[in-house]
Structure 1
Amino acid sequence: MFKIMLIEDDASLFGEIRERLQQWSYDVYGIEDFSSVMQEFAAVKPDLVLIDIQLPKFDGFHWCRMIRAHSHVPIIFLSSRDHPTDMVMSMQLGADDFIQKPFHFEVLVAKIQATLRRVYDYNTEAVSLRTWCGATVDYEQNTVTNAAGTVELTKNEIYILKLLIEQKNKIVTREELIKSLWDDERFISDNTLTVNVNRLRKKLDELELGRMIETKVGQGYIAIQEGESRD
């Protein structure tokens, strides 16, 4: 049974979401003290975090930043704020998804299920290490290492990289990436994928590998493998 921490200060909405998620056999935990979110997070050790932006004491961006400093647990924002910068900010801070309130509960469940499958299922594959462009990609530790050092990736970033290098030198369409990441492209914006890929490239730049992920305008992305022919 997966544990979900719901960081939401609207008691009515919290109760409704908890009741609905419990019907799907999720354990749902709330926050007693909004100034001690990290202490409660450490005590619960959730498998996924749902978090609002507007909260008492500190906003959701602050707590997302704090959680990401200690954990790769998947994070989904739930917010009534609809400015594009809020979604971009959440992705840049390492969130896995962003759902605008009000939302259909079926959409929330679909996104939770897709995120949990993406984060916790694929790591059970027999092959956990890949060599790409002289670097070692560790799917279990979410790291990429070469002579220049090691960078840590989020679950979304390592999954995008995995999809690309498993089909290296071939174009992976944006539609294929979106469907693989979120199961149903109706539930995710095209901009969210762009933000995740750009963030991945920025981290790979530290290893001088960012240039090995190319954009094919109007098509998708391609992971280049040095020394091999490209389709």
Structure 2
Amino acid sequence: MFKIMLIEDDVTLFQEIKERLLQWSYDVYGVRDFGKVAQEFTEINPHLVLIDIQLPKFDGFHWCRMIRSHSNVPIIFLSSRDHPTDMVMSMQLGADDFVQKPFHFEVLIAKIQATLRRVYNYGAEQAELRAWRGAAVEYVRNIVTNEEGSVELTKNEMFILKMLIERKNQIVSREELMKSLWDNEQFVSDNTLTVNVNRLRKKLEPLGLAPFIETKVGQGYMATEEAGSL
């Protein structure tokens, strides 16, 4: 049974979401002290975090940053704020998705299911290691290593890289990436994928690999490989 940590200070909304998630057989945990969210996260050790932006004491961005400093657990923001910078900020901080309030519960559960399926099952039937541009890409551990060093990716970043290097030197469309990442791209801003790809490139910069994730304007992205490489 998956454990979901719901960081929401609206008691009525918290109870509504909790009751609906319980119907889907998820364990749901709330927050006792909004000043100690990171500590309670460690105690709960959830499989997924749902977090509002506007919270008492510190906002959701603060806690997302704290969680990301030591965990790659998937994070989905829930927010009534509709400014595009909020979504961009959440993705830059390492969130996996963003759901705008008010929302249909069917949309939320679809995003939760897609995220859990991707994070905990996506590599089950795939080889755990791939070589790309002289680097070792470890799907399960979310680590990329070459002679320049090693970097750890988030689940979404690794998922994007995996899709690209499994089809080296071929364009993978933005629509295909978005549908694979979030199940139904109609609920996702096109900018969300751009932010995730830009984060991936930034992570790969110290290894000298960022230039080999190419943008094909109006089409999608491509991971390039030297001719003759496996």
TM-score bracket, normalised by the shorter chain, equals: over 0.9
Identity %, equivalent residues: 76
Residue 227 of structure 1 and its aligned partner are, at CA, apart by 2.8
- 1:224 matched to 2:224? The reply is yes
Q: Per-residue displacement from partner, 1:61-115 (whole Å, max 9, x unpaired)?
A: 0000000011100000000011000000000000000011000000000000000
| Corresponding residue pairs, total | 229
Mapped to 1, the partners of 2:143 and 2:84 lie a distance apart of 29
Give the structure 2 partner of residue 67 of structure 1: 67
TM-score by length of 2: 0.98
What are the equivalent positions in structure 2 for 1:17-56 lying under 5 Å apart? 17-56=17-56
Give the structure 1 partner of residue 89 of structure 2: 89
Q: Per-residue displacement from partner, 1:45-69 (whole Å, max 9, x unpaired)?
A: 1000000000011100000000001
Residue 151 of structure 1 and its aligned partner are, at CA, apart by 0.8
Give the structure 2 partner of residue 135 of structure 1: 135
What are the equivalent positions in structure 2 for 1:136-155 lying under 5 Å apart? 136-155=136-155
Residue 128 of structure 1 and its aligned partner are, at CA, apart by 0.5
Give the structure 1 partner of residue 190 of structure 2: 190
- 1:212 matched to 2:199? The reply is no
**Letter of the aligned partner of 1:196 in structure 2?**
N
Give the structure 2 partner of residue 124 of structure 1: 124
**Letter of the aligned partner of 1:55 in structure 2?**
L
Question: Runs of 5+ in structure 1 lacking a partner?
Answer: none
TM-score by length of 1: 0.97
Runs of 4+ more than 2 Å apart:
none
Q: Per-residue displacement from partner, 1:23-53 (whole Å, max 9, x unpaired)?
A: 0111100000011111111111100000000
Residue 205 of structure 1 and its aligned partner are, at CA, apart by 1.1
Aligned CA RMSD, in angstroms, stands at: 1.0
**Letter of the aligned partner of 1:87 in structure 2?**
M
Deviates more, 1:47-56 or 1:34-43: 34-43
Residue 228 of structure 1 and its aligned partner are, at CA, apart by 4.0
Give the structure 2 partner of residue 11 of structure 1: 11
**Letter of the aligned partner of 2:32 in structure 1?**
E
Mapped to 2, the partners of 1:82 and 1:44 lie a distance apart of 30
Question: Runs of 5+ in structure 2 lacking a partner?
Answer: none
**Letter of the aligned partner of 1:179 in structure 2?**
K
Mapped to 1, the partners of 2:11 and 2:152 lie a distance apart of 36
- 1:158 matched to 2:168? The reply is no
Residue 125 of structure 1 and its aligned partner are, at CA, apart by 2.6
Mapped to 2, the partners of 1:105 and 1:126 lie a distance apart of 32
